[in-house]
Structure 1
Amino acid sequence: MKYRSKPIVALSLAAALAWTAPAVVLPHHASAAAPVTAAAINSVLSPQAQEYGAYLQEKYGVAVGDSWTRGQFAEALNAIVTDKAIELDGSASEPLRAIEAVSLALQAADLGELAYTYPASKAKSALAWVKLGWTSEQYASDQAKILAAAVSTGLLVSSYYPEIRNDEIASPSLAAVLLGKVLEAKGLYKRYLGYTTDADILVKLGDAYRTSDIIQAPDLREVVDQALKQDLVTGYNLKDSRYDANFLDSLSVVYGHSDFKHALQLVGLLRSEKIQAKVQFEPKTSAFIYLKEWGEPGESDLYEVVQIENGNYIEYAKEYDLAFEFDSEYDKDRFDRIILSYAKKDEDNEPGLIYGSWWQPLYYSLTELDNYKEISNNKISAGHYYAQSFSLKEQSAPVTEGFKKIDPSADIVNYDFWVDGPFYNYLQGESK
């Protein structure tokens, strides 16, 4: 184991369609009074909408209820898209119509200009399966261009074509899916290579590992390297937030290791245990002190070293985290039992374990789980890079104070989370 310790943007699309509504408070959809049409989906969301809805609720505090007003939808967009503000005119309490929802979402997803590249013939072709029954003049309209762009880019899912065709009030499922699609277009949604059950998941993992490198981030490393030299921490990890999975905390676990062969076998192990989970590969560099009495450290594609003033070295090792989002809390809970049975050493040369199993495997959850122990993360960020050092809770304050002395301007965040029992024992000084 290597680890040691809103400018304002005019809503041109909506204006072109003469739609209006004002900005209002964040939505509380249970109290909305929008009428429900025969074809609109009731309060039971589609599976896709349910997944987006759970993400919107956990990450942004946006609740998906049984109906939407125009103002509520605009405010939900503003809650998730912070680089622009959707400004509306008119009554906030009017029901949100499906076509208007598509237009607002297209603008928020930075796809607005694309719409105006569609001539009437191209718009008609793109909208063929929507079966609008429009005249040729209607297909030359701005409304047609907006809908065509939404269809072509996948923003508008085919199951919601009837709501567009019949000019209906937006169903809660359509509203949730559009918000989810905006998140995806903006790079704000979950990031993952695939599922444990995908036929090509091992290929994708291999490609991700081979194209990852030791993270440099020299300015950030300078700060945490000083912490290493001062024995403030015994190790730290460097990561890049652009690879963060953004999974739901309630359903996810992050698992760290250094040997890629172990990763392949771990995914195979989960498949054999009938675990379907989303998988994201998060490159990681682990740094720790390499003592001079251990001999010449050498270098390779997997690690590099820098000698420090006392003759010791800081070693930077190429490692990784695998983030898993499980289909259920039950499967998340099962993960611990699977690892302890098949990926945790209890004796030398122990049979029946996957390759490279550690005495003290490292995996953690941001929500509480049985048999996990609460510890602290001491995290420093610089741009999209961050360094983190895990510690016992009572050691977190001194670590933070030490970081601040090294760099008073450092962006430091501390939070508690839950780690597997063996790694907790490691932090307490146990070797096995």
Structure 2
Amino acid sequence: MISSKKWVQLSASAALLATIVLPQAALAAGQAAVPTAAAAPASKQGNSASAEWTSFVKQQYGIQLAGSVTREQFGAALAKVVAINSSITEKDAASKGFLSAGTKALTVNEAVGAAVKAADLKELASTYSEQKTAEALKKAGIAYAKGGALSLANAQELAVAIDTGLALPAQLKEGKAGAVSAELAYQLLGKVAEFGGHYKNFLGTVSEDGIYGKLAQAWHESQIIKAGELQELVDNALKQNLITGYNLKDATFDPHFDPERTITYGHSDIVHAIQLIGLLRSEGIDAKVQFEPKTSAFIYLKEWGEPVQTEDYQVVQIDNGNYIAYAKEYDLSFEFSSVEEKKQFQPLILKYAKKNEEDATGLLKGSWWQPLYHSRTELADYPVITNNLLKQGRFVVQSFSLNDQSAKVVAGFKKLDDKIQVETYQFWVDQPFYNYLLGDYK
């Protein structure tokens, strides 16, 4: 059996080995080291709700609107959101008739009605009696009378939009039959995404009292991820030494955060995560928090001793006597209220969660020699590396590498399956982890 001291060190190293593709010098150093619920935007998060919706729709769907939105623009945008969220073509989404065709100017009432249909609220709207409809519309200062200018169907749509929060009464009161602003269009599009379960996905915020329990519960509910054929392929890559490790994630936990304000932090100890939340809170830093289950896989050498298996750490022996180890881990994604608060994250990690000596004190529990956190947008003092991804259904395989090693990783995957699609992109990572890629395992 492997000794308890070595086991602690091995567990702390698992995510690093499983995430990266190392050049030969770094691989040798790494092996030597081993034995030793979506809610609407909250105003306190920094940006106004309208700015949040605008930012989200632009980033997630690439939709650009300005001024008064035309019928054609809104219809196309609505079809794009529905198509992406439903995995159908935009042509098929457009054919669902959310918005009637025509050349006349698009009104607020029409836009809201179309959004109600796209958000799958049509049947709920049809349950509204005339009295219930009229009562709801009063909140927006809209008078409804049978046989009036406003049809019952459209009145029901507006009423259900008010009651469900898809549109605010003030927006309907101000807009009534007027033109649709880009701000309102972005909100309606974002709400359609939210009702379909495709808006920002997060447990809560650093500042809320219940975040610690939510985080612990999410960890206990997660388990080692298995991904069928996709995992078989990357396990073969491990067996053939084409890669040294990978991590496996479930895309349904993707937070859909604003990359400009987001940092993702990886670890394997849930107490470390809880203490990290407490650290941020004690420093007056707030952020949305998403827990993303992750499984890391790497080669466990037979000379390290017989591995200890648990529900959270499993091994499978391969032909050469070594093992593939699978470790339950997590990523925490933080969406800060501003880029400035995002920049405050690294100094705290380097001071309180970066191990620099064997018996260091004053650190969070389970602090690593090489903390692992990264950003999709540029940050000062963060080096650039490459993420090499494979996707199949809801599952994503990631293998990080130095930029000049990425082509070898892609070639390795292609060697196993020449039809496999490998996505690569560069991103910004903390300096200690980058040093690890270069062979500095301390």
Using the alignment, how far apart are the partners of 1:185 and 1:343 within structure 2?
38
Cα deviation for residue 186 of structure 1 reads 2.1
Using the alignment, how far apart are the partners of 2:391 and 2:62 within structure 1?
24
Range that drifts further, 191-200 or 57-66: 57-66
Q: 3-state DSSP class of the match of 2:378?
A: coil
Mapped pair 1:2 → 2:2: no
Output the amino acid matched with 1:48.
A
| Number of the residue aligned with 1:57 | 58
Q: 3-state DSSP class of the match of 1:145?
A: helix
From 405, 409, 423, give the equivalent of 2:419: 409
Cα deviation for residue 424 of structure 1 reads 0.4
Output the amino acid matched with 2:205.
Y
Mapped pair 1:199 → 2:200: no
From 136, 152, 156, give the equivalent of 1:141: 152
Q: 3-state DSSP class of the match of 2:198?
A: coil
Range that drifts further, 144-153 or 300-309: 144-153
- Please list the CA deviations of residues 208-258 of structure 1 after superposition, one character each: whole Å capped at 9, or x if unmatched: 111111001121111111111122211110000000111111111110000
Cα deviation for residue 136 of structure 1 reads 5.0
| Number of the residue aligned with 2:142 | 132
Using the alignment, how far apart are the partners of 2:391 and 2:179 within structure 1?
44
| Contact preservation (8 Å) 1:62, 1:76 | yes
| Contact preservation (8 Å) 1:281, 1:323 | yes
| Contact preservation (8 Å) 2:204, 2:289 | yes
Using the alignment, how far apart are the partners of 1:423 and 1:172 within structure 2?
42
Cα deviation for residue 308 of structure 1 reads 0.6
Using the alignment, how far apart are the partners of 1:357 and 1:75 within structure 2?
49
| Contact preservation (8 Å) 1:120, 1:140 | no
Q: 3-state DSSP class of the match of 1:122?
A: helix
Q: 3-state DSSP class of the match of 1:322?
A: strand
Range that drifts further, 195-204 or 290-299: 290-299
Using the alignment, how far apart are the partners of 1:140 and 1:171 within structure 2?
23
- Please list the CA deviations of residues 30-84 of structure 1 after superposition, one character each: whole Å capped at 9, or x if unmatched: xxxxxxxxxxxxxxxx921111111222232223423222222222212322131
Output the amino acid matched with 1:393.
N
Range that drifts further, 138-147 or 216-225: 138-147
Cα deviation for residue 173 of structure 1 reads 2.8
Task: Calculate the aligned-residue CA RMSD, in Å.
Answer: 1.8
Taking the TM superposition and a 5 Å limit, the aligned residue runs for 1:36-115 are 47-82=48-83, 83=88, 84-85=93-94, 88-91=100-103, 94-115=104-125
- Please list the CA deviations of residues 165-202 of structure 1 after superposition, one character each: whole Å capped at 9, or x if unmatched: x4333343322211111111122221111111111111
Using the alignment, how far apart are the partners of 1:274 and 1:71 within structure 2?
45
- Please list the CA deviations of residues 248-272 of structure 1 after superposition, one character each: whole Å capped at 9, or x if unmatched: 1111111000000000001111111
Relative CO higher for 1 or 2, CA cutoff 8 Å, sep ≥ 6? Answer: 2
| Contact preservation (8 Å) 1:195, 1:279 | yes
Q: Which runs of 5+ in 1 are unaligned?
A: 6-45
| Number of the residue aligned with 2:328 | 318
Taking the TM superposition and a 5 Å limit, the aligned residue runs for 1:225-240 are 225-240=235-250
Output the amino acid matched with 1:85.
A
TM-score normalized with structure 1 length: 0.86
Output the amino acid matched with 2:94.
A
TM-score normalized with structure 2 length: 0.84
| Number of the residue aligned with 2:161 | 150
Cα deviation for residue 114 of structure 1 reads 2.5
| Number of the residue aligned with 2:376 | 366
Identity %: 49
Cα deviation for residue 397 of structure 1 reads 0.5
| Number of the residue aligned with 2:5 | none
Using the alignment, how far apart are the partners of 2:151 and 2:77 within structure 1?
30
| Number of the residue aligned with 1:336 | 346
Q: 3-state DSSP class of the match of 1:81?
A: helix
| Number of the residue aligned with 2:227 | 217
Range that drifts further, 119-128 or 388-397: 119-128
| Contact preservation (8 Å) 1:372, 1:419 | yes
From 186, 190, 209, give the equivalent of 1:176: 186
Say how many residue pairs are matched. Answer: 389
Output the amino acid matched with 1:145.
Q
| Contact preservation (8 Å) 1:381, 1:410 | no
Q: Which runs of 5+ in 2 are unaligned?
A: 1-12, 21-46
Q: 3-state DSSP class of the match of 2:315?
A: strand
Q: 3-state DSSP class of the match of 2:424?
A: strand
- Please list the CA deviations of residues 265-303 of structure 1 after superposition, one character each: whole Å capped at 9, or x if unmatched: 011111112111111000000001111222221311211
| Number of the residue aligned with 2:408 | 398
Higher helix share: 2
Using the alignment, how far apart are the partners of 2:333 and 2:189 within structure 1?
24
